[in-house]
A and B are shown apart, each in its own frame.
Chain A
Amino acid sequence: MNEIPTREIFGHLPLWAQLVFYAVSALALAVFVYGFWRRLEKYRRGRFVNRFDNLGQRIMGAAKTIGENRTLFHRDAYAGVSHFLIFWGFIFLFIGTVIVFVDHDVLRLAGWKLLQGSFYLWFSVVLDVWGILFLAGLGMMSARRLVFTLPQLDYQRPDSRGGKVDRSGYVRDDHTFLGLLFFIGVTGFLIEGFRIAEQMPAFERWSPVGWLIAKGVNRLGLQPDVVGLHVSTWWIHAIVVMAFIAYVPYSKAMHMLTDMANLLFKDEMAARRLPAPPEKSDKAGYHAITDFTWKELLDLDACTKCGRCHVACPANAAGTTLSPRDLILDLRTYADATFRTSEWFQQRFASDSSWPHGGNGKIDVAQQVIRPETLWSCTTCMACIEACPVGIEHLTHIVQMRRNLVDAGTLDSNLQDALVNLGEYGNSFGQSPKTRGKWTQKLSFKVKDARKEPVEYVWFVGDFASFDPRLQRITCAVAEVLYRAGVDFGILYDGEKNSGNDVRRVGEEGLFEMLAEDNIKMLRKARFREIFTTDPHTLNTLRNEYGELGGNYVIHHYTGLLAKLIDQGKLRFNKKLNYQVTYHDPCYLARYNRETDAPRNLMRELGLHLREMPRCRENTFCCGAGGGRVWMDTSNEKERASEQRIREALGVGDVRYFVTACPKDYTMYTDAVKTSGNEGKIEVKDLIELVAEAMS
């Protein structure tokens, strides 16, 4: 007789047992649905934000990101491979189970059967292969947790609450999740093995893993017991699977669903364009957990504690109390306490902790849940958002809470001085606006006043480039280079004010609007085609944020403009520079605005030999000055990010210059070279200085 390859579902199980199985399944599903519903209820308590635009595009984008596990490979290929195997393994096994269910519980009623013949054979081999890969992925992940000591998986908190917070729940969560999946995978194979071992049908060679196990079982002489083993293993497997289903919405396993949603609803412009404050609110920024949008509440649940943000964050590296991971996790614990959707595996705060235990929703998130010092430590470098594989928008949370702090006046006195100066004079230096264009007096020519005569380019100079005596030399170099290249440009002189990029990131929204409106008004008076700036911060807000206030411009960073001039043959160099250099990508240029090629092309044209630091392009580090940090007292930093970066640069080998293309970088790194005692070993240069040298 020609055997038709197939297998019996519920083999050796009497009807009553099958009924018990269905009952347990129903119960597990009910527990799952309840947990899932509680989560949805939580998100429904959040403020509305429209993330349902461009749905088609969103779905395509999210499907691609998720399918490829793209964001997981980023910065950590090992984790990427492991997750890819688990992810697709899980999906294949899940689909396999669904096919079994459909075949047995739906098609069978109509007298059809799918799982037979060649389909059954292909089904068997595919599932066995993915089952093994699934286990391999889990093994790799377990090694990561148990063998490697990775800083991103260390749940030690950087703040002083360390001793007060019990995070063993997180570790149990991680281990339970991995353990359950592993157990389910292994018992699945065992069931298969025992089933095959009973009769050893030749076609079951198509289930290679099951076949091997079956042979092993028989070699061990267990053949007489396989029916009993099969039944008991089947029950264990079935119960654990059902337990797993019930467990999903109360644990880390929920990330399978929240992260898909989070990636689907994420804001591609997050951090680049901060949200305007809600129109009808009389309070500035976030005070209660209900001030958060549903997407932000979803952010909190999306976190898998992978720690990529934790290790990418310059504030954390500098030894401040901020860790983007802990910020999200604290908010999650608080949100769950408030909405009573507690997970099984939480961090626990000691009863003497000043942090609210029950979380009645009345306490101030920016003052008590996350503390002011922590919020002020952020440099808004966007490394956390860039590093996060699941689309969490940490920075928006931080800025929204900072808005609360600014409104309450909880800010350090240096920052306060800077803001007062910005309001009073339009610059943080407290200098008379009339002296803004004074640097031009050192030039060999007169810079046009764009308010008075038409120009091709308006140069939005920015505060630091205008007023900082150390930077004026560089600003002048830019002017001279462009003048020699015959670029028709002008500046706004005392009509220009601080662009407000960092003012907005400090959380002083009203002042940002004031500055932006004044600048837009002034730009309206000028006749020009496009704008350029040397300051990536200015670039960001003019390009991404002024639009909402009525200012739509084409704006270039000067490196882009110079690259264009080279293409047009307007910029020529008299010599090749032949220096070994390394290049620090400014956060606001590389991460915020994805401009990493122009400066590199420029360096190539100059004949420079670029030796990249380990963290480069979008993965660049940070100088520590952004987000208003440059105006704050930074004595809570143990080793400044800028000094760490200089160390990194020295580590790439023999480089003469540390090249940047941002005024704040120049001052921060010049200081860092001195304060880290590396004078004479490396010198900080703005790219324009090298351009000028090559032209001389």
Chain B
Amino acid sequence: MNFVVPIKQVPDLVEELELNEEGTDLSRDTVKYKINEFDDQALEEALQLKAEIGGAVTVLALDGEETDKMLFTAIAKGADRGIKLMGDFAGGVAMHAAAKAMAGAIAAIPYDLILTGVQAVDDRDGQLGALLAGYLGVPQVSVVTGVRVESGKAVVRKEYSGGVMAEFEVDLPAVLGIQAAREIPRYVAVSRVRQVMKSATLEEVEVHNAAGDEGSSVRRMMKPPKGSRAQMIQGSPEEIADKVIDLLKAKGLKK
């Protein structure tokens, strides 16, 4: 079975996000990137499936600052093939354009099950999975937390709210937007990544950045309006506890 995992770099929220002068984008040269955490989940699920039923895992990503490291890390974790989509993708890329570029590249390789992160922190114009499925003309299910493959079909669990899940059977090929893998994404030792960087090579495929096709553009970015900020309670733990108890009493929760 051929598993394809499109992965994407996103700004690291640990770092303070700075805006450019016009306030229309992040100040891209100050941004630190990392893999989208949900893509990491998708990769883990793909690797688990590979271990379970056999097959090969191909990871692909648009060229960017962290792409090589991301792809090599995925290979070190157990992916078989890494493809870097070359094009003008500096800075943020719209999901429509990303999905189009990826659909083109994926169409050229064998694929049965495409697993990608359910969402990302910056997918303003929609989630990659469903867009990708649309361009490839294959079925998709998103918010998936459980995947099995049975007699050439995927049986997936889609999460609704309240802990309820819906089970679907999906003909392959298909795209799944993964919310969580069955296990916490695995750790890969630094020495393994270093080793892979020395021994493995990434394939490069030229793709087109169809920027603008998403039909919308960013007019402005801003800090969210501060809500009704909490009234802060200060003092020693004892004083704090007493004040909290007063609140509970006022609410009738404690006599």
Contacts and interface: CB of A to CB of B under 8 A. Distances in A.
Given A424-B34, A510-B192, A510-B194, A411 B187 contact: yes
A416 B15 contact: no
Interface in A490-513: 508-511, 513
Nearest to B14: A432
Contacts of B191: 277, 284, 407, 509-510, 513
Given A413-B184, A416-B184, A425 B14 contact: yes
6 contacts: A284-B191, A407-B191, A416-B184, A424-B14, A508-B190, A510-B193
B34 A423 contact: no
A420 interface: yes
Contact of A510 (B14, B16, B184, B190): B190
Nearest to A507: B189
B30 to A, nearest CB: 10
A409 B190 contact: no
Interface string B186-213: 1111111111000000000000000000
A288 interface: no
Contacts of A419: 187
Nearest to A434: B15
Q: What 6 A-B pairs are tightest by C-beta distance, nearest first?
A: A510-B191, A510-B190, A511-B190, A409-B186, A416-B187, A409-B187
A420 B189 contact: no
A425 B12 CA distance: 11
A420 B187 CA distance: 8
A514 interface: yes
Nearest to A515: B190
B189 A508 contact: yes
Contacts of B186: 409
Interface string A410-447: 01010010011001110000111010000000000000
Contacts of B34: 424
A432 B30 CA distance: 13
B8 to A, nearest CB: 17
Interface in A24-82: none
B52 to A, nearest CB: 16
Contacts of A213: none
Given A406-B187, A409-B188, A419-B187, 8 more contacts: A409-B189, A424-B12, A424-B34, A509-B189, A510-B192, A510-B193, A513-B190, A514-B190
A411 B183 CA distance: 12
B14 A430 contact: yes
Interface in B153-212: 184, 186-195
Contacts of A282: 195
Contacts of B195: 282
Contact of B192 (A407, A424, A434): A407
Interface residues of A, number: 24
A509 B16 CA distance: 31
A385 B189 CA distance: 28
Q: How large is the interface on B (under 10, 10 to 19, 20 to 34, 35 or more residues)?
A: 10 to 19
B189 A407 contact: yes
Interface string B1-40: 0000000000010111000000000000000001000000
A514 B192 CA distance: 13
Interface of B: 12, 14-16, 34, 184, 186-195
Contacts of A514: 190
B14 A511 contact: no
Contact of A406 (B12, B184, B189): B189
Contacts of A411: 187
Contacts of B184: 413, 416
B189 A432 contact: no
Among B15, B186, B188, B189, which residue has the most Cβ atoms of chain A within 10 A?
B189
B209 to A, nearest CB: 28
A284 B15 contact: no
A513 B190 CA distance: 9
B57 to A, nearest CB: 16
Contacts of A409: 186-189
A2 to B, nearest CB: 82
A684 B186 CA distance: 38
Contacts of A509: 189, 191
Contacts of A413: 184
Contacts of A430: 14
Contacts of B188: 409
Contacts of B190: 423, 508, 510-511, 513-514
B189 A510 contact: yes
B241 to A, nearest CB: 14
A284 B189 contact: yes
Contacts of A406: 187, 189
A432 B15 contact: yes
B187 A432 contact: no
A413 B195 CA distance: 24
Interface string A295-338: 00000000000000000000000000000000000000000000
Contacts of A284: 189, 191-192
A460 B150 CA distance: 56
A503 to B, nearest CB: 9
A425 B13 CA distance: 12
Interface in A274-293: 277, 282, 284
Contacts of A434: 15-16
B189 A431 contact: no
A101 B195 CA distance: 62
A424 B13 CA distance: 12
Nearest to A425: B14
A575 B14 CA distance: 45
Contacts of A425: 14
Contacts of A277: 191
A321 to B, nearest CB: 22
B16 A432 contact: yes
B119 to A, nearest CB: 20
A663 to B, nearest CB: 22
A423 B15 CA distance: 15
A416 B188 CA distance: 9
A372 to B, nearest CB: 13
A284 B76 CA distance: 14
Among A406, A409, A511, which residue has the most Cβ atoms of chain B within 10 A?
A409
A94 B241 CA distance: 74
B202 to A, nearest CB: 20
B132 to A, nearest CB: 27
Nearest to A509: B191
A4 B34 CA distance: 94
Interface in A511-559: 511, 513-514
Nearest to A419: B187
A409 B76 CA distance: 11
A514 B189 CA distance: 11
B197 to A, nearest CB: 11
Contact of B14 (A431, A508, A513): A431
Nearest to A424: B34
A413 B181 CA distance: 14
Interface string A660-685: 00000000000000000000000000
Contacts of A432: 14-16
Interface in A105-157: none
Nearest to A430: B14
B239 to A, nearest CB: 16
A508 B187 CA distance: 11
A282 B191 CA distance: 10
Contacts of A431: 14
B36 to A, nearest CB: 14
A423 B12 CA distance: 14
A530 B186 CA distance: 40
A166 B192 CA distance: 40
B5 to A, nearest CB: 18
A407 B186 CA distance: 10
A401 to B, nearest CB: 14
B238 to A, nearest CB: 11
